[in-house]
Chain A
Amino acid sequence: MARVLINFPQRAKRGDIIEIKTLIQHPMETGYRLDNKGAAIPRDIINCFTCTYNGEEVFRAELFPAISANPFIAFSTVATQSGELVFSWSADRSQTQTETRQITVE
């Protein structure tokens, strides 16, 4: 399991636009590099990132090899109600990683 950093305000007023910052540890191997024997290193990138808010998808990103290693993604969403935010990263080779965080909306 890769290390993940997720940062957003834990408490928010209803209707506030909150910024969510995410970062996951991943090499984002482009598939264009060669190893020391001259063989191509196979591509292994996180190709999709999604965020759902109480089950509803609020953000989705398709990523390509041009995204840096340890992909950082920041986006915004409207705090509508208390509940859970589920973040998931799916990669070419490694397992899909899912993280859940709670948010309190007043």
Chain B
Amino acid sequence: MSALLECEKVTIKFGGLTAVSDLDLRIGEQELVGLIGPNGAGKTTAFNLITGVYQPTGGSIHFGGRPTANVKPHTLSLRGISRTFQNIRLFAQMSVLDNVRTAMQGNRAQRIRDALFRGRVFREVEARVEHEAMELLKIFGLDNFADANGKSLPYGDQRRLEIVRALATQPKLLLLDEPAAGMNPTEKEELMDLIRFVQDKFKIAVLLVEHDMKVVMGICQHIHVLDYGKKIAEGAPAEVRANPKVIAAYLGKDDGDA
């Protein structure tokens, strides 16, 4: 069976620095996979490789059986890879609703003619998109803030909205880049429930990059551990936790923060 996402020996070098080296990563349909590692291990770089922001200098990535080399991020998004960002990147000028609507319009942008004529086609598309966006917001309890500016929401809600926006593109694979960053323990608990809920409700695969061991160990079925751009371990949470290399990477140095 072919995996949804298949990275083979993916390598990227920035000048003399090898940020990610020979990374093998497989994610099956509806799998929840974690990618962990200390600061600077190359986790976000791996994300940027998968989403097409960077092109690998070696190795190959296949999504849904198709190679992603030289495919632009927006095209990959239409094919079903969506993501959130480590530092929240909501559209600052937009309302909560518009943030979601924007993500929804990817493959059904209106023609200029329809936008100018404002006829039935235009109104139907707008009404449908608005309805679907509101339905999605309702699921996550954000519908009451639909008209508020996205950036005016509390921090936890902004994180949630970013996940909702990512879901609005109807992804098959959702990449979450440190969603628990800056959250307190209660918020982290809620986040874990949210991720489980999202994966179950939308039947999608999730790749989670996270610092917080508790979150990763708590929800992931399979975990990959990166250190200095190389994969040092992988397996089920319990195996990874017991792996001496992982313990060394996280605890064996002064700068570990797990």
Is B one of A's binding partners? no
